[in-house]
Amino acid sequence: MRKILLILLLVVITVIFIVRHNNDPKNIISNVILKNKPGARDLAYKVNFLGFLPLGEAAFNREVIEGYRGEKVYHLKVTARTLDFFSALFKGNVILDSYVDINTLNPLLFKQKVVSPGKERADKEVYYDQQKNTVTVDGISRISLANTQDPLSAMLNIRRMDFKKTKEFKMNINTNHKNYILKAVAEIKTVVVGGRAFELVFLKGDIRRRDKDNPYHQTKISMVLLKGKENVPILINIFASGIFINVRLVNTYE
C-alpha cells in the first residue's frame, strides 16, 4: 500500500512540475520568442487537456486584407486538429474564418467547419448586421447587442488593445443566437529573460450567458500576452464545465 501511495505521490509531483514548467511564461519566451524575430506572424499552439496531456494543435494565421461585399475586411483564420494519439476517442479538424470590418474591428461573417471521419460535417455561417444589431444563423435572424463579436474577432480586438490605458473591459459575443458577455481585468508585469525585459499582460475573466446566471453556462478564462504593437497570446487557460484546457504558444512563422 505504501509503495502504491509513493508511486502516486511521485506521479502527482511530476505532473505538477511538468505543468508549471511548460506553462511558465518565462520558459515560453525563452523557447519561442527569443528564437524568432518579433512582429506579426502566424502562430502555432499546442492544446493540452488538464494542462499537460497533448490533445491537439492549432494555428492562428495573421490577418490579411480581402474584399467582402464590396468592402475591405480583415480575414482571420484558425485551423485546429486532434493529435493521432487521441484518434481512437475522437479525430477531427476544425477550420474557423472571420471577416472583420477594418475600421470597427466588428465581425461581418463567421464561418465554422468541423470535419470528423465517419460523421456528418458540422458547418455553420453566422452573419452580423452591426447597424441593425442582428445575428443570422441558418437563415434565422435574432436581436444581438452593439459591437457583438465572434471568437476570432474578439481575439483580434484583445491583441489590438492598449493595456496601459485599458485595465478592464467587457465584450459581447454571439455565434449561436445566444448573447454572451466577456468580462476581464488586465495587469501588466515585467519579466527578464535572457537579459532582456519583456512586458506581459495577465488577463483574468469569464464568459457567461446574459440571460442565465448558471455556473454551467460560464467559462473561466485567463490569458498571458506578450505586450507590443500587436499583443501576442503566449498562454491561454480555459476552464468550463469541470474541464481544464490549456493552449500554449510553441512556434511562430514568417
Winning range, highest mean pLDDT, from 86-90, 169-173, 218-222: 169-173
Q: Spell out a b/e string for 53-65, using b for 16 or more CB atoms within 10 Å of the CB, else e.
A: eebbbbebebbee
Q: State residue 145's pLDDT score.
A: 94
Kindly list the domain boundaries of the chain, sorted by start residue.
2-253
242 touches 22 (CB < 8 A): no
87 — phi, psi (to 5°)? -60, -30
Check: CB of residue 193 under 8 Å from CB of residue 29: yes
Angle at 89 between CA 87 and CA 95, to 5 degrees: 60
Cα separation of the two ends of the chain = 54
Rounded mean pLDDT, 9-37 = 70
* Mean of pLDDT values over 121-129: 87
Residue 46, number of CB atoms within 10 A of its CB? 17
State the pLDDT confidence band at 20, using cuts at 50, 70 and 90: low
Q: How many alpha carbons lie under 13 Å from residue 62 in its C-beta half-sphere?
A: 11
Alpha-carbon distance of 137 to 122, in angstroms, equals 13
pLDDT at 6: 57
- For residue 106, which of 120, 88, 127 has the smallest C-alpha distance? 127
What are the tens digits of pLDDT across the range 41-94? Answer: 899 999 988 766 788 899 999 999 999 988 899 999 999 988 776 555 566 789
Long-range (24+ apart) CB contacts under 8 A made by 159-162 are: 159/225, 159/230, 159/231, 159/232, 159/233, 160/105, 160/230, 160/231, 161/186, 161/231
Q: What is the structure's pLDDT at 92? A: 76
pLDDT for residue 55: 83
> Residue 118's pLDDT is what?
60
What average pLDDT does this structure show over 121-146?
A: 91
